[in-house]
Structure 1
Amino acid sequence: MLEITNLTKTFGANTAVDNATLSFQRSAMIGIIGRSGAGKSTLLRMLNRLTDSSSGSFTVEGHDMTHLRGAARRRWQSQCAMIFQQFNLVPRMDVVSNVLHGTLNRRSTMATMFNLYPTSDVHRAIEILDRLGIVEHAPKRAEALSGGQQQRVAIARALMQDPKIILADEPIASLDPMNAQVVMQALRRIHEEDGRMVIANLHTLDTARRYCDRVIGMRDGRVVFDGTPEQLTTGVARDIYGAGSDFSEAATSTAIETLDSTDTHAVPA
């Protein structure tokens, strides 16, 4: 389904992603972990074509997506939806309109200018919001919602594109543990119920183990681990993060029970 071959991105003398080669033969929920600056976000941005690669390639169902331009690139971006850490919603716009923005790639310029949407699209947006448990917030401004609710609006906007692949760049990094679990459960259900591939950059090991079928570890731009959640041992995690023997998973856990058992004034990384 997705083949990545020697994909590389350089910024001047710095290499953000270094010869990444990965093969995804079936739909799965995949977590990518690694410390800040490991190349996780750059990899996703290359797959979505928000960023051009310096060399290498990636194909989807045998079609090369690496050098698409113009309308062809926009068509691919509609099939490869992106969810961001900071939601990227229009704060003063109502929730339904934010979700309907997921259809912009297939709408005319005139319809976009006058904010005109087919009734069928409006109904579908409402159905998706209902599926994600936030339909009662449909008429509210996005800025009135909590962080977790806004991230679910962003997921709903991605689903409006009816994508083959959903890329989530640190989707829970700015959320509290309860909302983080709600968002990850939503992404997991989307994968299981719709059969969509979900690739998420994650910053906690327990989240990757709990929700993902496969985990990719990146360090200094290179893929250094590719395996199952069960293979992601503490020792492997130390190698991925370049940490010493004092490395503690509990310090970055999003598990509510873990946080409850620690100092209530501590802030999880």
Structure 2
Amino acid sequence: MLQVQTLTKTFGERTAVDRASFSVDQPRMIGVIGRSGAGKSTLLRMLNRLSDASSGTILFNGRDITALKGAERRKWQSRCAMIFQQFNLVPRMDVVSNVLHGTLNRRSTLATMFNLYPTEDIHHAIEILDRLGIADQAPKRAEALSGGQQQRVAIARALMQDPAVILADEPIASLDPMNAQIVMEALRRIHEEDDRMVIANLHTLDTARRYCDRVIGMRDGRIVFDGTPEQLTTGVARDIYGAGADFSEAATSTEIATLDRTDAERLKAGALA
């Protein structure tokens, strides 16, 4: 389905992504991990064509995505939906209207100007919100929702595009552990139930292991690991993050059970001190 061949992005003398290559033969849920500045976000932006590659190619079902321009490029961005860490919602607009913005690429300029939506699109938006457990929030302003709810609205907006690929750029980085779990479970269900490819940039190893079929590790713009969650050992993680022997996975955990266990160990250590 997806082939990335020696994809490179430079900013002046700095190379953000350095000859990245990987292929995906069927819809998978893929986690991309690495420390800040490793090139994860730049990679996703090139896949979505928000950013142009300096060199290399992206092929989807044999079509050269890097060569698309104008309307064809916008069509690809509808088929390859992007979810951002900052949600990118319109705060003062109601939730269902934010979700309906996922149809903008296929609506006329006049309909967009007057905020006109077909009844079937409105019903579909509410169905998607119901699927994500937030249909009761549909009439509220987006700014009135919690961070986790807003991220689910962003996921609903992406689903309105009916994409073949969903790219999620640090979708849980600004969320508490409970909401992070809800959002990741939603993305996993979408992958499994809709047979959609999901590629998510993640900071934490436990999240990648729990929700992803495959993990790609990036360091200094290069792919240094590409394997199964089971192959992502602590030693491999040290290499990806450029960490020493004192590297602790618990320090980067978003899993509630791990956090509870870590807190308990700290309390025990304090009691023995």
How would you bin the TM-score normalised by the shorter chain? over 0.9
Deviation sequence 1:147-202 (CA, Å, 0-9, x none): 00000000000000000000000000000000000000000000000000000000
Offset, 1:262 = 3.3
Whole-Å Cα distance in 2 between the matches of residues 257 and 7 of structure 1? 38
Name the Cα RMSD after superposition. 1.0
The corresponding residue for 1:26 is 26
Name the aligned partner's letter for residue 178 of structure 1. Answer: M
Q: Secondary structure at the match of 2:245?
A: coil
Whole-Å Cα distance in 1 between the matches of residues 255 and 193 of structure 2? 24
Offset, 1:255 = 1.1
- Larger helix proportion, structure 1 or 2? 2
The corresponding residue for 1:152 is 152
Q: Secondary structure at the match of 1:199?
A: strand
Moved >6 Å (runs of 4+): none
Q: Secondary structure at the match of 2:20?
A: strand
Under a length normalisation based on structure 2, what TM-score does the superposition of the two structures give?
Answer: 0.96
Name the aligned partner's letter for residue 153 of structure 2. Answer: V
What percent of counterpart residues are identical?
A: 82
The corresponding residue for 1:173 is 173
Residue 13 in structure 1 maps to residue 19 in structure 2: no
Offset, 1:259 = 1.5
Q: Secondary structure at the match of 2:163?
A: coil
Q: Secondary structure at the match of 1:9?
A: strand
Structure 1 residues without counterparts, runs of 5 or longer? none
1:111-150 matches, within 5 Å, as 111-150=111-150
Structure of larger gyration radius: 2
Under a length normalisation based on structure 1, what TM-score does the superposition of the two structures give?
Answer: 0.97
Q: Secondary structure at the match of 2:262?
A: coil
Whole-Å Cα distance in 2 between the matches of residues 180 and 257 of structure 1? 13
Whole-Å Cα distance in 1 between the matches of residues 255 and 41 of structure 2? 24
Deviation sequence 1:238-266 (CA, Å, 0-9, x none): 000000000000000011122223349x9
Name the aligned partner's letter for residue 237 of structure 1. Answer: A
The corresponding residue for 2:89 is 89
Whole-Å Cα distance in 2 between the matches of residues 72 and 255 of structure 1? 40
Whole-Å Cα distance in 1 between the matches of residues 107 and 255 of structure 2? 41
Whole-Å Cα distance in 2 between the matches of residues 258 and 215 of structure 1? 20
Structure 2 residues without counterparts, runs of 5 or longer? 267-273
Name the aligned partner's letter for residue 168 of structure 2. Answer: A
